[in-house]
Chains A and B, each alone.
Chain A
Amino acid sequence: MNIINKGEKNMKNFKKITTLILTVMFTGALFAGCSSTQNTATTPNSLDTVKKAGTIRFGLDDSYPPFESRNDKNELVGFDIDLGNKIAEKIGVKAEYITTDFNGIILALKSPKFDAILSALSITDARKKEISFAGPYLMSGQVIIVKAGNTTIKTSADLKGKIVAAQLGSTGEEAAKKIAGTKEIKSYDKVPEELQDLLIGRVDAVVVDKPVGGYYIASKQDQYKVLSPQLTEEPIGIGIKTENTDLQKEIQSIVDGYQKDGTLSKLSIKWFGYDAYTTK
């Protein structure tokens, strides 16, 4: 090759180095992709594999206090976290929490990105067709929250012509859609966004789980009001992939045990302020 002057030589070197760097980066990216798929391919999905792995992975949406949320130190805290830790303890493994969007949580369980869903998941017939449940570990239900000082909305009948907010893919959204005569149901990804828009005035009411309503009233008393007739009665359960029958049986017996020996009552008083199990 004829290199005529220094400028041309520099250009050729530059091209060589650039090509080399790009090749290395590209190959590196390929291998990075490979290793992450390997991890998800060998995921544990029954009781023994969980025990062997030494960890049980729970999937949840971390913006749903008091079930699950983050504190100032960005640590996960909540009823579900305490329950998950206790279940892991009984099985003899550690608990790991994978945060995910609530709307895709069942899809994520089936792929499987984790071993079980522990995210205030209501047991419904439609969901039972897709996955199985251990539990119920709590009886909850939807309530309506309005801005404090709102005197026009007292029951679901007053929601005629109003805009109601709910979380996308939740039973709250289903319940909101069943209310007759509402002007619009707005679906949000996260509960804090709904409550924010309630304060801003873009929506007239929010439909959400009772303990969640209770949490927001307790922490921001003068801003919200929870309406008393509960909209629905919903059992909350732990979602498990249908074919993982061993894991389901184990978690079921652990949860039943905790209910009998009062552990669940203690957690309920800690996180909800009352014992949700006395009526059972």
Chain B
Amino acid sequence: MDTSVIIRTLPILLKGCVMTIELTVITLIIGTFLGIFLALLKISKNKVLSLISSFYTWIFRGTPMLLQLFFFYYGLPLIGLKLTPFQAAIIGLGLNCGAYMAEIIRGGIQSIDKGQFEAAKALGFNYSETMRKIILPQTFKVIIPPVGNEFITMLKDTSLVSTIAMVELMRSAQQMYATTFKPIEIFLTAGVLYLLLTTIFTAAFSIFEKKLSVYD
């Protein structure tokens, strides 16, 4: 084990880490809002809206993320839309995350007792107020485990953007391997960094779940 290699390459790997975190955070924000929107569309009484949402989740969950990234990066320019690697990455990852989040949130909403909807109606809440003030807040606690899963998966999926010429942690590790020929040291360090990031996520979610369980 050559520790000097680790010390030399650590700054570059950390720089890659920063990009990974950046991509993950932006993707999750886009994914969450998109997910809530799509989930509400899907459970709506309007058949057209519901179909649009189903179609969206069908496409984005049914094709590999790598294919989606390639499509946005190499495919779109042929119809005139040229995206930078960062834009293609955010769009590809965000839209994909949105599809999975939609199903998670929909599951969460549907698990809330029908009695809640009825009580809200009886008290005179309209649909929007019911969702915002009564249903969605209760949904958050229920969906923490699957959302935690999705967040951690997204963090690791950012490694796929290395294939559309974006430099984040995985790409940095590959570049360092190319120059030092020391795969064990490089990939071990990168692995530890990924583990660190996912552990922070896991810990944050545990705390979040405990806080929301205060009223149980």
Contacts and interface: CB of A to CB of B under 8 A. Distances in A.
Given A107-B183, A196-B74, A200-B82, A186 B178 contact: no
A132 to B, nearest CB: 14
Contacts of B77: 200
B84 A202 contact: yes
Given A130-B181, A188-B165, A200-B77, A103 B82 contact: no
B177 interface: yes
Q: Is the interface of B mostly helix, strand, loop or mixed?
A: helix
A169 interface: yes
Given A196-B74, A200-B77, A187 B165 contact: yes
Contact of A186 (B74, B165, B177): B165
Contacts of A130: 181
B44 interface: no
B159 interface: no
Contacts of B175: 168, 187
Interface in B166-180: 171, 174-175, 177-178
Contact of B178 (A103, A188, A200): A103
Interface residues of B, number: 14
B174 A168 contact: yes
A106 B165 contact: no
| Most A-side CB within 10 Å, residue of B82, B85, B171, B178 | B178
Contacts of A165: 165
A173 interface: yes
B84 A173 contact: no
A126 interface: yes
A234 interface: no
A201 interface: yes
A126 B181 contact: yes
In this complex, the member of B74, B82, B163, B181 whose beta carbon has the largest number of chain A beta carbons within 10 angstroms is B181
A169 B178 contact: yes
Interface string A105-136: 01100000000000000000010011000000
B169 to A, nearest CB: 15
Given A193-B74, A200-B77, A202-B82, A168 B178 contact: yes
A189 B178 contact: no
B37 to A, nearest CB: 31
Interface in B6-53: none
Interface of B: 74, 77, 82, 84-85, 163, 165, 171, 174-175, 177-178, 181, 183
| Top 8 A-B pairs, shortest CB-CB distance | A169-B178, A200-B77, A186-B165, A130-B181, A107-B183, A103-B178, A188-B165, A103-B174
23 contacts: A103-B177, A103-B178, A104-B177, A106-B181, A107-B181, A126-B181, A129-B181, A130-B181, A168-B174, A168-B175, A168-B178, A169-B174, A173-B178, A187-B165, A187-B171, A188-B165, A193-B165, A197-B165, A200-B77, A200-B82, A202-B82, A202-B84, A202-B165
Interface of A: 103-104, 106-107, 126, 129-130, 165, 168-169, 173, 186-189, 193, 196-197, 200-202
